[in-house]
Structure 1
Amino acid sequence: MPTGTGHTTAIRASRVIGTPVYNTAGDQIGEVEDVMLDKTTNNIMFGVVGFGGFLGVGEKYHPIPWASLNFEKDKGGYVVPYTKEQLEQAPKDSLHELTENDGLGARDAAYDYYKAERYW
């Protein structure tokens, strides 16, 4: 069933992973590397967006609140409402560090930084 913006209400994780992510200027900044799931609330904690590296070297992974990732069909990817500068200064870490403490530290840092509405 589509949402008010025409999006589907359900999507397979395998379709999300690898999807390009764009900033507000329309520049591709990276792609969705993974999603963190909150098993206790049945919500998506955050999307893990990788960018900043070359061929996997030097890449950092950014936890971005899931609601901030807006799929735009004409781009074939997600657009986040943030500038390049905001994204460069955002919380980032390795995949391993993002999942420490069940991902709660990364989740809280991301929601605080982006001033996103909390789902929990």
Structure 2
Amino acid sequence: MSTLTGHTEAIAASRVIGTSVYNTEGKSIGSVEDIMLDKTSNGIMFAVIGFGGFLGVGEKYHAIPWASLDYDEDRGGYVVPFSKEQLQAAPAYSINELAGADGQAARDESYSYYRVEPYWH
């Protein structure tokens, strides 16, 4: 079975990690650093996207709802439907904060900020 854009529903996390992410203007905004899984619902909580920094110093991490990422074969990466301004103003975390409180605080804030329908409802 495939998604609305014709991609398959299943993908190995190892293929996703390290993939570039672009905003609506086509600018590279970072890459997928990790995927946070919700063990109780068997779903993906969010993608961890690294923005900025150099060699890991000063890098901010954003929790982007997984359903917001759409793979673009021409770019060889994911595109998120958010402007540069939206992404710059988005909640940012340290890698430890993303996993704190079972990831729910970052998840809830992310879905609310990006106005994405929560998968857990």
TM range (shorter): over 0.9
**Residue identity opposite 1:59 in structure 2:** E
- Which residue is 1:118 aligned to? 118
1:83 Cα deviation after fit: 0.6
Superposition pairs for residues 26-105 of structure 1, below 5 Å? 26-105=26-105
- Aligned mates of 2:46, 2:86 — CA distance in 1: 17
**TM value normalised by structure 1:** 0.97
Deviation of 1:3 after TM superposition, in Å, equals 2.3
The one-letter code matched in structure 2 to 1:90 is: A
Q: Structure 2 regions of 5+ residues with no counterpart? A: none
SS of 1:99's partner is: helix
Shift of 1:116: 0.4
Post-superposition shift, 1:46?
Answer: 0.2
Q: Which moved more, 1:79-88 or 1:49-58?
A: 49-58
- Which 4+ residue blocks in structure 1 deviate beyond 2 angstroms? 1-4
Q: TM (normalized to structure 2)?
A: 0.96
The count of corresponding residues between Structure 1 and Structure 2 is: 120
Q: Amino acid of the residue matched to residue 85 of structure 1?
A: E
| CA–CA separation in structure 2 for the residues paired with 1:4 and 1:95 | 31
- Matches of 1:83 and 1:4 in 2, distance apart? 22
Shift of 1:79: 0.2
Query: CA–CA distance in 2 between the matches of 1:3 and 1:27?
Result: 24
Gaps of 5+ in 1: none
Q: Structure 2 counterpart of 1:30, which letter?
A: G
The one-letter amino acid paired with 2:38 is D
Question: RMSD between aligned alpha carbons?
Answer: 0.7
